Structure 1
Amino acid sequence: MSQTPRAAGPAGPDAEPARGRHSAASRHQRAWPLFLSLVLVATAVAGGLALHQSRSNGPESSQAASNGASGTPDVAARAAEVDKLLQTRAQAVQQNHEAEFLATVDQGNKTLLAKQRVLFENLRQFGFAKLGYERLRDQFDQTLVDKYGPSTYAVAVAMAYQIEGIDPVPVRTMLGYTFTKRPDGHWMLVSDTDLDHLLPRGSHQEAWDTGSVLVKRGPRVLVVVEQNQDALATSLVAKAVSAVKAVSKSWPGGWTGSGFVIALDDKVVRGADYSLPKNAEDALAMATWVYRTLPGEVTGTGERADSYVVINPRNRTKVDARTLAHEFTHVATAPYGASAPRWMVEGAATYVEFLPMDGAPDLALDKYQARVRTKYLTKAKGLPADATFFDNASSSYPLSWLAMDYLFHKYGGTEVSTLYQEMAALGTTQAERNRIMTEHVGVTEAGLFQVLRAAAAK
């Protein structure tokens, strides 16, 4: 079933979140969204820096092929030349030198040149405070040597960047480049897609990789849409600015970060995949991880720095400021870690989403609380489990909100924020989660569920 538009009609004092993601909500109800947030596919861990695990030929064959001879190639010279080329590309973007950027590309490949021109124009719009490219690992593939010639050099590359006013620290994403040597001895880029099948899903699928885009900014906000979608960009900037203010005001201790919103036609951008039927039907937006260090560089899962929000192209018109407040809460809490239970992650985001917000009608949360207790809590056997959270989203989200609403009102924002941070950083096992919960609020997760049942019975 399709997602019901949120806040489709004027909301008065009886406005409340609607019943569930598959419910037929009336015009005066707020539909319940399925937020698939903080998504990172498992292949990122396995794929990220495993590009050196080449096929049977191995790196020695790659090095020999780079000279087209059986003797030892000058690997250091090749590395120096390619590093210089990568540096040229980064500097050209920051200094707005399109000709220098395109000069690093195979001039005989008009299709690649056109794509690289669009890439340059896109990159220029983002306003990078820092930008660089770093060689990581060689990847030998005989088919590439056969295609481009004996000097072929395929390599994984880390794009290190920091968008001005958006990224709190420099972050990294993965690319795969194929180079060959020109007749004059210099190196040139002949492909930026040959290694995509070996990269983590979402790599080389950043917002600037998808075709001509339009970037618009607001205070602490950056929005990316298709080149001809100026009205959409303006609308999303206004909603995002309102959402940033709401999270900054509502999250304990305040939030000083920024919101990056991607609303493109592409169904696969970064870690968001809206080509999957369930995502395409239900999801409004996803907050996807951004990495300070890539999976495999320092830790197996990488060190998270931030999150970018990717909107489902099918549901762009249904996204409002509350939707973005939910996602920006995920952005605000992303640096804490990835080990908090899903009910806490989504419950906290929904708690902030439903609070009073400038420009949005207040929701009748007392009536909603009663509905959640009678409709979902009475039938539940515990707090929503991580493994089945999204399978039962119509009940998981309301129950998660109920739990976090109780914690915020019972213990206050400071204590709940501290609890969240410790759970996100250390809650890797049920034993650890129980220890942290007991230390901060005196009950385990199972105990909290029983408290909620007891409160509903009064």
Structure 2
Amino acid sequence: MDPVRRALVRLLLPALCALVAAAGCAAPDPSAPAVDAQVRRAVADWAAAPPARLAGVPLEGWSYEVTSVRREGDRASAQAELRYRLAGYDTAPAGSGRELTLTRDGAGAWRVTADGPAQGAPPQLWDQGEVAAVRGARSLVLGVGQSPQTLSDLAAGADRAVPAASAAWPGPWAGRVVVLVPATLDAMAALLGRPADAYRGMGAVTTGATGGGPAPADRVVVNPEGYAELSSAGRQIVLTHETTHVATRTATTARTPQWLSEGFADWAAYRDGPPAPAEAAPTLARAVRLGDLPAALPEDAAFAFGGDQDAMARAYEGAWLACRLIAARWGDAALVRLYELAGREPLPTALDQALSTDLPTLTKAWQQALREDLA
């Protein structure tokens, strides 16, 4: 280094050190690693005994993976990922972001004093109250604020839904279903992280991952208010529809058109007692009678929660009638084959391979069926 540069370094070094000090940099707290380890041990101890609100729930693998610790005096908070399984139902651990609060007692020991959802993460069912569990032959129903009779009735309905879904979907799946029943519509919406208006009037929805692999945490989540308004037959249709979504999950991807996914689930739900098309599709029937024949199969956006209710009803009804047509004209096996292919191939390719037809031809056949069945 030449003399001029050495002189500049000598001049600038004190100034740089002063800037670092002014920015608030300080020597690391030597006690931080020890506190971090103590907090992690306290969280591990907490995980050894799941909340009392879950006393009747078959749990396994309950653990917290701490991702960060923040301490302020005798209080600390830990960000963690909760992992657990419902024994006999989940194929892999389900996950949930959590924030735990800890305090240090007079003896210096850290203890968890609160455990809740992390910022931005939805609550879990047990965050809303004590969870009651009812086991069916093929189902597990978990509820908060519900009567034992309500949960037992749901378990019986879910037990009937599982073989109905299996009859429609011959592909491999677990053959069992988990049903969550929160106390209110607002509580349901909180579990799903959406506004309550998105689910108003609906009987239930299904959660879970898509992408061609097994979803460890498929859950049918019941809207207790919408479900209560349904007839006995309507409740069974809803449970079978949602259970079919669970059954077809491994074949459902972002490629799968919503009209095929939702239409197939309704087709499965109506197979045992097929209603007259105009009876099961009253909103679309009314539109067709007024001359408003759909120009195309329903777009994915038409199925979005919280939108125009009539438009969504027409989309669901049209999707069911499309799948009903495919099964009647090409056969049940061809409909299943189309569903399998549509999850991994472009729709035109799937239609060609499964039905030896194309989208314009299918659309025209569907429109003709709507005229005949609904008008």
Q: Same fold (TM over 0.5)?
A: yes
AA in 1 matched with 2:47 = A
Distance 1:265-1:367 versus aligned 2 partners, 3 A rule: closer
- Distance, in Å, in 1 between the alignment partners of 2:171 and 2:152 is 30
Aligned to 2:199: 279
**Which of 210, 216, 222 is equivalent to 1:305?**
216
The 3-state SS of whatever aligns with 1:320 is: helix
- Distance, in Å, in 2 between the alignment partners of 1:347 and 1:320 is 17
**Are 1:134 and 2:28 counterparts?**
no
Task: Determine if contact 2:258/2:303 at 8 Å carries over to the other structure.
Answer: yes
* Cα displacement string for residues 257-310 of structure 1 (whole angstroms, at most 9, x for unaligned residues): 322112221423464368533522x2111112269xxxxxxx9xx984342111
Aligned to 2:6: none
- Distance, in Å, in 2 between the alignment partners of 1:151 and 1:303 is 43
* Cα displacement string for residues 428-448 of structure 1 (whole angstroms, at most 9, x for unaligned residues): xxxx33333334333444442
Aligned to 1:349: 265
Distance 1:273-1:157 versus aligned 2 partners, 3 A rule: closer
- 1:354 deviation in Å? 0.6
**Are 1:154 and 2:111 counterparts?**
no
**Are 1:84 and 2:5 counterparts?**
no
Aligned to 1:13: none
- 1:182 deviation in Å? 3.5
The 3-state SS of whatever aligns with 2:274 is: coil
- Distance, in Å, in 1 between the alignment partners of 2:149 and 2:125 is 18
Distance 1:229-1:370 versus aligned 2 partners, 3 A rule: closer
- Distance, in Å, in 2 between the alignment partners of 1:373 and 1:227 is 37
- Distance, in Å, in 2 between the alignment partners of 1:255 and 1:84 is 38
- Distance, in Å, in 1 between the alignment partners of 2:357 and 2:55 is 52
Larger mean CA deviation between 335-344 and 445-454 belongs to 445-454
Query: What TM-score, normalized by structure 2, do the two folds share?
Result: 0.76
**Which of 246, 251, 254 is equivalent to 2:164?**
246
- Distance, in Å, in 1 between the alignment partners of 2:221 and 2:282 is 31
- 1:70 deviation in Å? 5.1
* Aligned residue-pair number: 333
- 1:225 deviation in Å? 2.4
- 1:341 deviation in Å? 1.5
**Which of 448, 451, 456 is equivalent to 2:362?**
448
The 3-state SS of whatever aligns with 1:363 is: coil
- 1:331 deviation in Å? 1.4
AA in 2 matched with 1:322 = I
**Which of 370, 384, 406 is equivalent to 2:298?**
384
Q: 1:353-364 to 2 correspondence within 5 Å?
A: 353-356=269-272, 362-364=273-275
- 1:254 deviation in Å? 5.8
Distance 1:151-1:73 versus aligned 2 partners, 3 A rule: farther
Distance 1:86-1:303 versus aligned 2 partners, 3 A rule: farther
- 1:169 deviation in Å? 2.3
- 1:89 deviation in Å? 2.6
The 3-state SS of whatever aligns with 1:349 is: helix
- 1:422 deviation in Å? 4.1
Q: 1:91-170 to 2 correspondence within 5 Å?
A: 91-93=48-50, 120-138=51-69, 149-150=72-73, 152-170=75-93
Aligned to 1:230: 148
Q: CA RMSD in A?
A: 3.3
Aligned to 1:199: 120
* Cα displacement string for residues 293-349 of structure 1 (whole angstroms, at most 9, x for unaligned residues): xxxxxx9xx984342111112123226222100111111122334412211111011
- Distance, in Å, in 1 between the alignment partners of 2:366 and 2:258 is 17
**Which of 244, 249, 267 is equivalent to 1:329?**
244
- Distance, in Å, in 2 between the alignment partners of 1:160 and 1:444 is 45
**Are 1:406 and 2:325 counterparts?**
yes
**Which of 342, 347, 350 is equivalent to 1:433?**
347
- Distance, in Å, in 2 between the alignment partners of 1:447 and 1:210 is 50
Task: Determine if contact 1:217/1:223 at 8 Å carries over to the other structure.
Answer: yes
For structure 1, which runs of at least 5 residues remain unmatched after alignment?
1-60, 94-119, 292-298, 357-361
Q: Which has the higher contact order (CA 8 A, sep 6+)?
A: 1
- 1:216 deviation in Å? 0.8
Task: Determine if contact 2:91/2:215 at 8 Å carries over to the other structure.
Answer: no
Distance 1:156-1:334 versus aligned 2 partners, 3 A rule: farther
Task: Determine if contact 2:124/2:191 at 8 Å carries over to the other structure.
Answer: no
* Cα displacement string for residues 144-171 of structure 1 (whole angstroms, at most 9, x for unaligned residues): x6xxx33544332111111112212222
Aligned to 2:342: 423
- Distance, in Å, in 2 between the alignment partners of 1:237 and 1:384 is 33
**Which of 204, 224, 227 is equivalent to 1:316?**
227
- 1:375 deviation in Å? 4.5
The 3-state SS of whatever aligns with 2:245 is: helix
The 3-state SS of whatever aligns with 1:169 is: coil
Bigger-Rg structure (1/2): 2
- Distance, in Å, in 2 between the alignment partners of 1:327 and 1:156 is 33
Aligned to 2:11: none
